[in-house]
Amino acid sequence: MMKERLIVGKLKKFVLEEDYYRILVLVGIRRIGKTTALQQLQQYVPDSTYINFSETGAWGKLVEFISAPKKLLLLDEISYLKNYPTEIMHIEHQSVELGYKVIITGSSPTHMLSLYGGPLGGGRSTLTRLSLLSFTEYLCFSEKIESYNCDYTPTEKDFIDYLNLRGIPKG
């Protein structure tokens, strides 16, 4: 199993503990791990649906979810959905009415920020950014620590290795 980024823990907390917001917009540059984070989160929330709009059949999956919602809707590559701001507003209204949560992401940070600031603005959603690999994540991925909760005093060499991404497995 692939090691998790710290963001997966934040997403779990949103799903399990957040009472005010129903929608989280996840923003990050291309190829940073947004899709992987959503797929890893889905393993923890069996009553969820993952839809990638860059894949064939995504619209049908969304229609199926809307007719029989689950606890969590994970929408990836949302900007591939035609007229996505309007569709997201329909989903937002239904999520409030039926009590499910939604995490939305896409490859264009500009589109995601305009969605967050526009149709999902005014307290309708919360924004989370996925950044480059942090030093703590590096220590975990390079197996210098077993988990993010480990007590470890890093060395100067650890930090230099982090800057050069030494010891990170491919993928």
DSSP letter string, 38-72: HHHHHHH-SSEEEEETTSTTHHHHHHHHHHS--SE
What average pLDDT does the structure give for the chain? 92
- My answer on whether 34 and 66 are in the same domain is yes
The answer to whether residue 170 scores a pLDDT higher than 80 is no
The domain of 118 spans 6-129
- Is residue 85 exposed (0-12), middle (13-18) or buried (19+ Cβ within 10 Å)? middle
- My answer on whether 22 and 65 are in the same domain is yes
**How would you classify the pairing of strands 72-76 and 101-105?**
parallel
CATH of the domain at 111: 3.40.50.300
The residue-averaged pLDDT of 118-145 equals 91
Could you tell me where the DSSP H helices lie in 18-164? 34-44, 58-67, 84-98, 109-117, 135-141, 156-163
The residue-averaged pLDDT of 78-88 equals 91
Phi, psi at 48, each rounded to 5°: -140, 160
- 5 within 8 A of 18, measured Cβ to Cβ: no
The answer to whether residue 107 scores a pLDDT higher than 90 is no
Q: DSSP 3-state assignment of 79?
A: helix
- My answer on whether 81 and 114 are in the same domain is yes
Give the model confidence (pLDDT) of 42-53 as tens digits. Answer: 999 989 999 999
Closest by alpha carbon to 100, among 62, 43, 57? 62
In a domain, 116, yes or no: yes
Q: State the virtual CA torsion across 146, 152, 154, 159 in degrees, nearest 10.
A: 30
Give the model confidence (pLDDT) of 6-16 as tens digits. Answer: 999 999 999 99
Q: Give the pTM.
A: 0.90
Overall domain count for the chain: 2
In a domain, 1, yes or no: no
The answer to whether residue 102 scores a pLDDT higher than 90 is yes
Whole-number Å distance between alpha carbons of 87 and 66:
11
- My answer on whether 157 and 81 are in the same domain is no
